[in-house]
Structure formats: C-alpha cells, structure tokens
Structure 1
C-alpha cells in the first residue's frame, strides 16, 4: 500500500568501491517529483472590517467588506477562481481606502500646521503694534 499514490520502485544498491566505510550508495534518481499545492485564496475579512470601521472614505471600506464576504462564501462553496477574484477586489478596495485616508490625514496635518503658524504670526503682529 502506497499512501502517496506513486508507484514504488525497487532499487538495487551498489557496493561502494571508494574505500569509505558505510552503507552502499544508491544510484541517482532519474525523475524528480514536484508537488504543487494550491493555497486557499485570501479573503481579507479582518482588513476589510478595519477599513470599514476606521478607514471608510467614499464607502470603500463597506465595498471591501462586501467583496471579502463574497470571497469567503465562494471559498466555502469550492469556487476558488471566484474567491480569488473577489479577494483581489477586496484587497484593491482596502488599499484604495488606506491611501485616501493617508492623504486626508496628511492634508489635515499640513492645514493644521499652516493655521497654527498663521495664528502665531497674527498674535505676534498684534502684540508688536
């Protein structure tokens, strides 16, 4: 009984002639077996929930959450290609939401620093004259 599903080969060992002690050397294998395992596609549900709660500009977090749930449903149903497509869409929407929120935070910090600087200059100007 072979659990791997491949035929078993019986190989005769050759005697070592090189003078070293030890077991005989087996001939070099002629075939290489490569096992390709397909990983389950990612659905990015946790990232989508965080995007929905914290980073939700233009409802991108909600759309990412919907596609993540669709990807999880497709994965459970066995449709791996559909799960990959929906997971990829959810990932792109999460990235877009993160970029938009980062830009908005950067604009807010720049605006706040300019307003504070102008307020200091105005106070300094009024106290000087």
Structure 2
C-alpha cells in the first residue's frame, strides 16, 4: 500500500535526497585508535605509603605500582594494566580508610574536649562536690 504521490521503491538514507533515484554512495573512513599507555599510579602510591598507610595498603599499592611500571618497560601492556588497576584499587581503599580514621579521630577528640569542658564547668559551679575531695 503506497500513499498517494509517493513512489513504491525504497530510497537509501545516505547523502542528500533530491527526489531522483540513484545509487547511494557510502564512504568508509579509517579510525585511528591510539591507546594510551597504562597508568601505574606511582605518585599516588607514594603519597598513600608515606602519609596514609592503614593496614599496609599503601605499601601494597606501592609494590603493585612498581610492578606495573616494570611490566610497562618490558612491553607487557596487559600485565601493566592489571597491576596498575590493582594499585589504583589499593590506593582508593587506603585513601578512604585514612579519611575515615581521621574523621573518627576528629569526632573522638571533639567529644572528649566537650566532656572535659562540661566536667570543668561542673567543678567550677559546685566547689564542694565529691570531685574536690
């Protein structure tokens, strides 16, 4: 079933359609895919090793970063990518754990300081309490 005024033949969608039937031209282009070398995350591993090394995760990340760098020098791209991804994962865990530990430390210090301030205020308000004996 053809609508009125339209031809019954199929028309390609490539290029500009001027109403005249004709061959369609498909152009193929070459895509150059450049793969970047795998990252070894050595700087991040060094920072995690020196500044935040909970459960020795920074040390493990540094070891895997060095292995990734060695694999990259040898030419084993897949091995370097594997070691680099492992180092990245360990660095993420070390950074998150260090941030959580610092946050818990800040909360504990603020709670202890608040309790000490409340105790000092209580002692100053009640000089004959059991704390002064």
Instruction: Give the structure-2-normalised TM-score.
Output: 0.74
SS in 2 for 1:34: coil
- Unaligned runs of 5+ residues in structure 1 are 1-27
What's the offset of the Cα at 1:29? 7.4
- Unaligned runs of 5+ residues in structure 2 are 1-24, 127-133
1:1-129 alignment runs, 5 A limit: 30-129=27-126
What's the offset of the Cα at 1:47? 0.6
Aligned length: 102
User: Please, what is the CA RMSD of the aligned residues?
Assistant: 1.1
The CA deviation string for residues 2-52 of structure 1, in whole angstroms up to 9 with x for no partner, is xxxxxxxxxxxxxxxxxxxxxxxxxx8712111001110000001101111
- Alpha-carbon separation, structure 1, partners of 2:108 and 2:99: 14
State the 4+ residue runs in structure 1 displaced beyond 3 angstroms: none
- Alpha-carbon separation, structure 1, partners of 2:78 and 2:115: 55
